[in-house]
Every structure is written in structure tokens, then in C-alpha cells.
């Protein structure tokens, strides 16, 4: 099936096809580490910046221009759809998503009506359409996975323990599954609208899925994420499924139906490769804290990632170079510029233990 940018290194690597360079992009490449971002971002809430299509377009383009990455990721947030349908979400600087009236019972399901992308998030569609005319590289659509979005709606703010979320799944299964189903539908409608508007790939962020045991993930979360990824399969765009701390879940994360599994820095890519069925591709996994430490440690770690990723020889899963999680605000953009140069100038398969030492 022909989808946008089918011949790009990024889409080809997602599909496990041979590439001449290892493609690279960075989660949170648009954001506070860039002076040009801080300059245009303004002081309002990030949800307002996202709702300004011209601003969101410019911010999405900034890292593409500065770094020369092989893909752009839409400047938006995993909370955009729930915010747009009026659940009462904001994103507090330095904190993350906060919810005025957290989800606590069956009555709250009504606050999660279906998303009508053209009416509820017209600014997202306008941003995507602007971007596909401006960009030379693929644009990645994204959504928050049902579990990670639910964790914010239930806890009301970022959590370490997910104590309320786990209480709901283990004490009121039918309500839990109805909540998962509504959040799956929001993710599906949001992703489809971004892909219809021209996005070339889709990433499902289940950032906090690693808080769950494999048994709980399989029972309480996998069905909803499988529904999301299955619903966009027919679009033909590559699907990336990412979470942090998911080493024990890689097989399930792949089983949900993704061409690409995102790997954080805790698991070497060669080891991750042995835990996913061939020909699943991998995305990752340079430690963002090492990048923030400066060029020399970053160079060594990046070459190790390339070596373990194994390049894109075709015929087995490919490798998309990325960080293991988002760019940290304290990162020097010059270090990321050099990472892109290094990845692009190292022929796939050429990084060896000697080049890394
Ligand atoms: O380049 C990009 O990736 C930009 C697009 C993007 C943002 N958020 C913009 C943003 C993406 C893909 C996200 C996804 C997102 N949002 C996730 C999944 C990715 C991940 O990191 O695991 C999550 C968990 C969120 C929720 C969220 N939004 C958090 C935890 C925060 C940080 C709060 C803070 O201030 O530290 C946000 C805010 C946010 N979203 C920022 C950006 C650039 C920074 C704040 C700002 O500029 O106001």
C-alpha cells in the first residue's frame, strides 16, 4: 500500500526494509531545550499554544530545521482530545497534566463523549495540513494510549504509584473496561483524523504502562491498546508502540499490533530484539540524561546504540534511532545536532565495539 513518504528512510526502517542511513528523530524534540521554542512559546498554557495552528506548525518545524531529523512529530499533547471534549484538563508547567475533577465513578463516563475531530480539534487538523505541505520528511501522528491517559484522569495528576488507577481496575472491572473502551475510541478518532490529514506514521504513547505487571497489562490494558492499533492498521501507515520501563512487556507491546516497539534506555537493543517476534522493528534508545551530560559521553553511548540496533539490512526488524524517552529541558541542542550527524555518517551496521570505545 502506498502511504505518504513510503520511500523515506524513516518509514522504510519502521517496516524493516533496507536503508542507506539509520533514520533518527527525538521524542520531545520540540520543546523547552530549544531557545527558539522558548522564544515563541509565550506564557499561556501549552494547550493554548497547541490550539494556535500557525504557532504549532512553527514549533513542529523548529527541530526539523535545526537538527535535520528524519521525521517530525506533531506539536500537541496526549491530553489534547480529553481536553477538547471538555473533561477539564490542564497541563501545569513543571508538573504535567492536572484534572480538576478526576474520574472516580460511573457518572464520570458521560464526561467522555466521542471526539468529533473536525469540530473539537480543528486546529490539530489545520496544523497537520500545514505541516504536510511544508515538510520534506514524514510527520508522525500520535495519541496517548488508554492506560496512560486513564492514569491522569483518575489520579488527577502525575503519580508514582498509580494507586487509584490500580484500585479501579482491581475493584470495578466493568467500569474499568468501559473507561478503557471510551479512551480507545478517542485515540482511534484522533489518530485517524491526523492520518487522514496526511500524517505518515503513528505513535501510541503508553508512557506509564511499565507500572504494571505483565499479567495486569495483558488483562486490563492490552485489549484496549490492541483495539487502537488494529483500528488504524487499514490506513497502512507504520505504527509505533512506546512505553517506559516496559522490558517485561515487550512481547505484549508488540502483540498489540505495531510494526515498531519503542525501547527505553534500560534494555540494550540487541536484548530487546530477542524479546519481540521477528520482524518487529525497534525505536530507541539513547539515555536522555547522558545526552544532557554533554558530547563525549553521548558519542560513546550513541555508537553503542547504533551497534546494538544493528542497522537496517532488510529482512528482519529495522532500527529507528531515538532517545529512550523525551529530550530533557537541560539538554544542549548542539549535542543533539551532533547526534544526528553521527547517526547519519555511520553506515548502518558499521558501528563496532572499537568505534564505540
Ligand atoms: O517533540 C515533541 O514530542 C512534542 C510533542 C509532544 C508534547 N507532549 C508537547 C509537550 C508529545 C509527543 C507529548 C506527549 C506527552 N505528553 C506524553 C507522552 C510522551 C512522554 O514523554 O512519555 C506525556 C506523558 C504527556 C503529558 C505531559 N505534557 C507531561 C508529563 C508534560 C511535562 C510537564 C512539564 O512542564 O514538565 C507535558 C507538557 C508538554 N507537552 C511540554 C511539551 C513541549 C512541555 C511544557 C511546555 O512547553 O509548556
> How many percent of the chain have pLDDT more than 70?
98
Looking at the predicted structure, is the pLDDT value of residue 1 above 90? no
Confidence of residue 332 (pLDDT cuts 50, 70, 90): very high
Looking at the predicted structure, is the pLDDT value of residue 354 above 70? no
- What's the average model confidence in pLDDT over 160-188? 98
| Strand, coil or helix: 283 | strand
Q: Which of 169, 154, 255, 252 is nearest to 210 (CA)?
A: 252
Looking at the predicted structure, is the pLDDT value of residue 349 above 80? no
- DSSP calls for 321-351: EEESSPPPTT--HHHHHHHHHHHHHS-TT--
Confidence of residue 283 (pLDDT cuts 50, 70, 90): very high
Cα(132)–Cα(24) distance, rounded to whole angstroms?
A: 19
Q: Which of 141, 119, 120, 143 is nearest to 129 (CA)?
A: 141
Ligand 1 midpoint to CA 77 (Å):
6
Atom of ligand 1 nearest to the CA of 63: 1
Residues with Cβ < 8 Å from 43, sequence gap 6 or more? Answer: none
> Per residue in 306-330, is it b (16+ CB within 10 Å) or e — as a string?
bbbbbbbeeeebbbbbbbbbbbeee
**pLDDT score, position 355:** 58
List pLDDT tens digits, range 218-273: 999 999 999 999 999 999 999 999 999 999 999 999 999 999 999 999 999 999 99
User: Ligand 1, residues 77, 79, 264, 329: which to mutate, most atoms within 8 A of Cβ?
Assistant: 77
Q: Does residue 22's CB lie within 6 angstroms of at least one atom of ligand 1?
A: no
Q: In the annotation, is 264 catalytic? A: no
For the chain, the domains span 9-345
**Average pLDDT for the chain:** 96
Q: In the annotation, is 67 catalytic? A: no
- What's the average model confidence in pLDDT over 7-18? 98
**pLDDT score, position 297:** 98
Q: In the annotation, is 316 catalytic? A: no
Helices 295-309 & 333-345 angle (0-180, nearest 10): 40
Q: Does residue 31's CB lie within 6 angstroms of at least one atom of ligand 1?
A: yes
Between the alpha carbon of residue 216 and those of residues 206, 241, 321, 326, 334, the distances in Å are 14, 18, 30, 26, 41
Ligand 1 midpoint to CA 326 (Å):
8
Bridge partners (DSSP) listed for residue 144: 205
Cα(150)–Cα(181) distance, rounded to whole angstroms?
A: 11
Q: Does residue 262's CB lie within 6 angstroms of at least one atom of ligand 1?
A: no
Confidence of residue 350 (pLDDT cuts 50, 70, 90): confident
- Give the closest residue (by CA) to ligand 1 atom 31: 96
- The CB-based long-range contact list for 31-34 (8 Å cut-off, 24+ gap) reads 31/326, 31/327, 31/329, 32/329, 33/327, 33/328, 33/329, 33/330, 33/331, 33/332, 33/333, 33/336, 34/62, 34/63, 34/66, 34/333
Give the pairing of strands 281-286 and 319-323: parallel
Region at 76 (left for phi over 0; alpha for psi -120 to 50; beta for the rest): beta
Cα(197)–Cα(195) distance, rounded to whole angstroms?
A: 5
Q: Does residue 77's CB lie within 6 angstroms of at least one atom of ligand 1?
A: yes
Q: Which helix (H) or strand (E) holds 167?
A: helix 163-171
- What's the average model confidence in pLDDT over 277-283? 96
Atom of ligand 1 nearest to the CA of 32: 47
Beta strand ranges found along 229-318 (DSSP E): 239-242, 260-262, 281-286
Q: In the annotation, is 32 catalytic? A: yes
Ligand 1 midpoint to CA 314 (Å):
33
**pLDDT score, position 23:** 98
> How many percent of the chain have pLDDT more than 90?
94
Q: Which of 206, 100, 87, 75 is nearest to 151 (CA)?
A: 206
Record: fold of 9-345: TIM Barrel (3.20.20)
Q: In the annotation, is 270 catalytic? A: no
Q: What is the pTM for the complete model shown?
A: 0.97
Roughly how many angstroms between the first and final C-alpha of the chain, as a whole number? 42
Cα(254)–Cα(240) distance, rounded to whole angstroms?
A: 9
Q: Which helix (H) or strand (E) holds 187?
A: helix 173-196
Q: Which member of 37, 67, 152, 162 is catalytic? A: 152
The values of phi and psi at residue 286, to 5°, are -65, 135
Beta strand ranges found along the chain (DSSP E): 72-73, 89-92, 96-99, 139-144, 201-205, 239-242, 260-262, 281-286, 319-323
Confidence of residue 81 (pLDDT cuts 50, 70, 90): very high
**pLDDT score, position 348:** 77
**CB 246, CB 204: distance < 8 Å:** no
Amino acid at each position: 500500500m502506498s502511504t505518504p513518504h513510503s520511500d523515506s528512510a524513516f518509514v522504510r526502517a519502521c517496516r524493516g526494509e533496507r536503508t542507506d542511513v539509520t533514520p533518527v528523530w527525538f521524542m520531545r524534540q520540540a520543546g523547552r531545550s530549544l531557545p527558539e521554542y522558548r522564544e515563541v512559546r509565550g506564557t499561556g498554557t501549552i494547550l493554548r499554544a497547541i490550539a494556535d495552528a500557525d504557532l504549532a506548525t512553527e514549533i513542529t518545524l523548529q527541530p526539523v530545521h535545526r537538527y535535520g531529523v528524519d521525521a517530525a512529530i506533531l506539536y500537541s499533547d496526549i491530553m489534547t482530545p480529553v481536553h477538547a471534549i471538555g473533561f477539564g484538563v490542564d497541563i501545569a508547567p513543571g508538573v504535567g497534566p492536572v484534572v480538576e475533577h478526576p474520574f472516580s465513578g460511573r457518572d464520570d463516563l458521560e464526561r467522555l463523549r466521542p471526539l468529533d475531530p473536525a469540530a473539537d480539534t480543528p486546529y490539530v487538523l489545520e496544523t497537520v495540513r500545514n505541516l504536510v505541505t511544508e515538510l520534506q520528511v514524514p510527520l508522525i501522528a500520535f495519541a496517548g494510549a488508554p492506560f496512560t491517559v486513564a492514569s491522569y484522569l483518575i489520579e488527577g495528576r502525575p503519580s508514582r504509584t498509580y494507586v487509584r488507577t490500580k484500585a479501579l481496575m482491581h475493584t470495578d472491572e466493568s467500569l474499568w473496561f468501559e473507561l478503557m473502551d471510551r479512551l480507545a475510541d478517542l485515540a482511534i478518532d484522533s489518530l485517524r483524523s491526523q492520518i487522514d490529514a496526511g500524517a505518515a506514521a503513528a505513535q501510541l504513547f503508553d508512557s506509564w504502562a511499565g507500572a504494571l505487571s505483565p499479567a495486569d497489562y495483558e488483562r486490563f490494558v492490552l485489549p484496549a491498546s490492541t483495539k487502537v492499533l488494529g483500528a488504524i492498521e487499514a490506513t497502512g501507515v507504520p505504527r509505533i508502540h512506546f512505553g517506559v520501563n516496559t522490558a517485561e512487556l515487550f512481547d505484549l507491546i508488540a502483540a498489540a499490533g505495531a510494526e515498531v516497539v519503542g525501547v527505553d534506555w534500560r534494555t540494550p537493543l540487541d536484548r530487546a530484539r530477542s524479546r519481540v517476534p521477528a520482524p518487529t522493528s525497534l525505536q530507541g534508545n539513547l539515555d536522555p540524561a547522558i545526552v544532557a551530560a554533554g558530547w563525549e559521553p553521548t558519542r560513546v553511548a550513541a555508537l553503542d546504540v547504533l551497534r546494538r540496533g544493528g542497522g537496517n539490512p532488510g529482512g528482519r526488524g529495522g532500527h529507528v534511532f531515538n532517545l529512550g524517552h523525551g529530550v530533557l529541558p537541560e539538554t544542549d541542542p548542539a549535542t543533539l545536532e551532533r547526534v544526528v550527524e553521527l547517526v547519519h555518517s555511520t553506515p548502518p551496521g558499521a558501528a563496532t565495539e572499537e568505534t564505540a570505545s
